[in-house]
Amino acid sequence: MTEREYAYYSGCSLEGTASEYDASMRAVLKELDVNFREPDDWSCCGSTPAHTVNHVFAAALAARNLALVEKIGLNTIITPCPSCMMAFKKAQHGMTKSESFKNEVNELLDEPYECGVESKSALQVMYEDIGLDAVSQRVTHALPGLKVAPYYGCILNRPPEVAQFDDPENPISMDKILLSAGVDVRDFAFKIECCGAAFGVVKREMVNQLTYKVLSMALDAGANCIAVACPLCQQNLDLRQGQVNSTMGSNFNIPILYFTQIIGLTYGLSPKALGMDKLIVSAEQIIRSRITVEELKKREETEAQVKAKKPEKKPVKEEAKPEENE
C-alpha cells in the first residue's frame, strides 16, 4: 500500500490562510509512509470564480494541473482542499463523459490532458487507500477529554455522481478515521450543513447565522471541538467565532481543528509542526491534555481499581434485594 506514490496539490489556501492544514497534512502523510510529489509549476485549480463564469475555462484551469501530474507519470492526486478536489473531479467527470467537452478544454491547453489522473481528497485517500488499520497503528498518544464533532461541509462528497465517495447525506469517513485514531467522536446532525462558504465576503451576517447554527449544534451533540477537512469551513468557524459571538450574543469558545492536526497529535507530533499556533480559538487545553497511551492505560487501571472498591458495599444491597422481592 505504501509503495503507491501520489501527486500532492496544495492549492492556494494551503499556501496561505490554511498553512497549518498543509503542514499537518504533510506531517501525517509522512508518518503514514505515503510518498508524494508536488507537480512543478502548478497553477490555480479554477475553483470558485472560474466555474461561475465559464465551465470550459474552469475545467481547463483544473486540467492544466492534472496534465502536469500526468507528465510526471503519476495517476492519483491528493488534494487536501475540497474546493480544489471538486474542480479536478468535475473537470475529469466532464472530460471523460463528453468527447466534445474534452476537445474544447484541450484546445485551451498547451499540452492536452488525456484524463489519466484520479483526484482524491486527503480524507478519501486515508479512508480508502491507506486504511483505518494503518491509521490506528501509528497512534502513540491519547487525547482524553476531547470530544470531536466531525464536520464535512458541503462539497467533500457532493454531488455524489461526481464525488464518488462516502454518503452524500450522512458521511462517515472522517468519523471512522478519527475513531481509529482513538478519539471520542460525537454523532453530529449538522455534519453536512452549510457554513456560509464564500459569502463571508459579501454577506457576513448570513455566515454568522449559519456558523452559529453549526457551532451550537456541535455543542448540543456534546462536542468540545470540531474537526474539519476544508480550509473555508475552518476559516468560517474559527476566524469568525468572535464575530458570531458579538452579533449573535453567544459565547462560543470551540477549537476548530483540521482532522490531520488531531491525528498528528495522537501520533505524538509536536504542536508547532502541526501549526497549532495558527488557530484563532486556542487549542491549548487539548494540547495540554495529551498523554501517552501507556499513561492513559495506567490512569484507566487506577480508575478501575477505585471503581472496583465500590462494589464492596454492593453485597449489602444484594442482601437487601431478596427482601424487597419477598
Chain residues binding another protein by CB under 8 A are: 167-170, 189-190, 217, 220
Question: Which of 33/169 has CB closer to another protein?
Answer: 169
Cα 321 from Cα 299, distance rounded (Å): 33
Q: How far is the CB of 126 from another protein (least distance, A)?
A: 23
What single letter denotes the amino acid at residue 245? Answer: N
Helices (H), the chain: 11-15, 19-31, 48-53, 55-71, 82-97, 99-107, 122-124, 132-137, 160-163, 173-180, 199-202, 204-220, 231-234, 241-248, 259-266, 284-288, 293-309, 314-325
What single letter denotes the amino acid at residue 176? Answer: K
Question: Which of 171/182 has CB closer to another protein?
Answer: 171
Q: How far is the CB of 167 from another protein (least distance, A)?
A: 6
Q: How far is the CB of 158 from another protein (least distance, A)?
A: 12
Question: Which of 131/168 has CB closer to another protein?
Answer: 168
Q: How far is the CB of 322 from another protein (least distance, A)?
A: 22
Cα 208 from Cα 161, distance rounded (Å): 31
What single letter denotes the amino acid at residue 144? Answer: P
Q: How far is the CB of 193 from another protein (least distance, A)?
A: 8
- Burial of residue 309, with CB atoms counted within 10 A of its CB: 0-12 exposed, 13-18 middle, 19 or more buried: exposed
Question: What is the torsional sign of CA 233, 128, 34, 283?
Answer: positive
Residue 262: count other Cβ atoms within 10 Å of its Cβ.
27
Total residues belonging to the chain:
326
Give, as one character, the DSSP assignment of residue 224.
S
Q: How far is the CB of 67 from another protein (least distance, A)?
A: 34
Pairing of strands 5-8, 76-79: parallel
Cα 326 from Cα 324, distance rounded (Å): 5
Q: Any idea which residue has 467522536 for its cell?
A: 185
Q: How far is the CB of 71 from another protein (least distance, A)?
A: 39
Question: Which of 21/190 has CB closer to another protein?
Answer: 190
Question: Which of 105/192 has CB closer to another protein?
Answer: 192
Q: How far is the CB of 254 from another protein (least distance, A)?
A: 17
Q: Omega of the bond prior to 159 within 30 degrees of 0, cis?
A: yes
Question: Which of 38/169 has CB closer to another protein?
Answer: 169
Question: Which of 154/291 has CB closer to another protein?
Answer: 154
Question: Which of 67/163 has CB closer to another protein?
Answer: 163
Pairing of strands 225-228, 147-151: parallel
Q: How far is the CB of 226 from another protein (least distance, A)?
A: 16
Question: Which of 104/193 has CB closer to another protein?
Answer: 193
